[in-house]
């Protein structure tokens, strides 16, 4: 492959620094080199055969990587997005419910700490996936390493992805922390289920069922302790 550095300096610099600029947000401007962006060369027919594009969606490597985006991966992204948004809504309702002005200072500190943590964690994950692993690794390779290989030869690919593909994996990473949060909210339960469960005799029925299966009387041990006099 011929070096086209002379044709388009900003793109060479841009391509070489993609991992950094993407998060820094400093330079990611395809206008710097619209030709290379489209993967096309100014070829009039009088010149020699066009060189293969060095980057962009027409790059052979980028096309091959894009084709590895599978229906299974798509499903994982959909499930992740749906679970993430369900958990966020659930937790948001509880946050509003337990909101109190006296928590203002800790809320502000938590927001700042959260932004810094997210910034560092996303940088760490990005660096890890940019630097290590391979697309050939079972499962993780095609699912999670592939997009990192793709964006280095087709940096604007993400701008052509839809909401699900762009956010699927990020949503997936939030599911465990959001799930823990939801679990804690349920644990500090407001008792909303007490009335309906009482109404259908849930606990009585459950006790009868267990008694019929095991022969144990409910609370018999509890009662034995309560009856102790000395």
Contacting positions for Zn ion (CB under 5 A): 19, 130
Q: How far is the CB of 82 from Zn ion (least distance, A)?
A: 27
Cβ distance to Zn ion smaller for residue 41 or 65: 65
Assess contact for 157 and 150: CB atoms under 8 A. Answer: yes
Q: Report the nearest approach of Zn ion to the CB of residue 139 (Å).
A: 20
Query: With the C-alpha atoms ordered 194, 196, 200, 202, is the resulting torsion angle positive or negative?
Result: negative
Cβ nearer to Zn ion, comparing 38 with 130: 130
Complete DSSP assignment for 41-93: ----SSSSPPPPPSSSTTSHHHHHHHHT--HHHHHHHHHHHHHHHHHHHHHHH
CA gap 148, 170 in Å, rounded: 13
Which residue's CB comes closest to Zn ion? 19
Q: Smallest distance, Å, CB 101 to Zn ion?
A: 42
Q: How far apart are CA 162 and CA 69, in angstroms?
A: 13
Q: Considering the complex, what minimum distance in angstroms separates the CB of residue 195 from Zn ion?
A: 53
Residue among 18 and 164 whose Cβ is closer to Zn ion: 18
């Amino acid at each position: 492959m011929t070096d086209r550095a002379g044709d388009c300096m900003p793109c060479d610099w841009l391509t070489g620094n993609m991992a950094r600029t993407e998060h820094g947000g400093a330079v990611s401007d395809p206008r710097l080199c619209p030709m290379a962006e489209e993967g096309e060369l100014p070829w009039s027919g009088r010149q020699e055969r066009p060189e293969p594009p060095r980057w962009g969606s027409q790059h052979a490597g980028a096309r091959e990587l894009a084709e590895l985006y599978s229906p299974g991966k798509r499903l994982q992204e959909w499930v992740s997005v749906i679970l993430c948004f369900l958990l966020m809504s659930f937790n948001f309702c509880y946050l509003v419910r337990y909101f109190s002005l006296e928590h203002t200072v800790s809320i502000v500190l938590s927001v700042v700490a959260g932004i810094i943590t997210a910034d560092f964690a996303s940088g760490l994950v990005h660096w890890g996936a940019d630097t290590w692993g391979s697309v050939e690794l079972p499962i993780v390779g095609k699912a999670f390493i592939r997009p990192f290989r793709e964006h280095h030869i087709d940096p604007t690919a993400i701008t052509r992805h839809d909401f699900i593909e762009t956010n699927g994996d990020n949503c997936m990473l939030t599911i465990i922390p959001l799930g823990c949060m939801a679990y804690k909210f349920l644990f500090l339960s407001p008792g909303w289920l007490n009335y309906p469960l009482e109404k259908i005799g849930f606990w009585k029925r459950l006790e009868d069922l267990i008694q019929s299966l095991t022969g144990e009387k409910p609370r018999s041990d509890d009662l034995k302790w309560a009856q102790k006099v000395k």
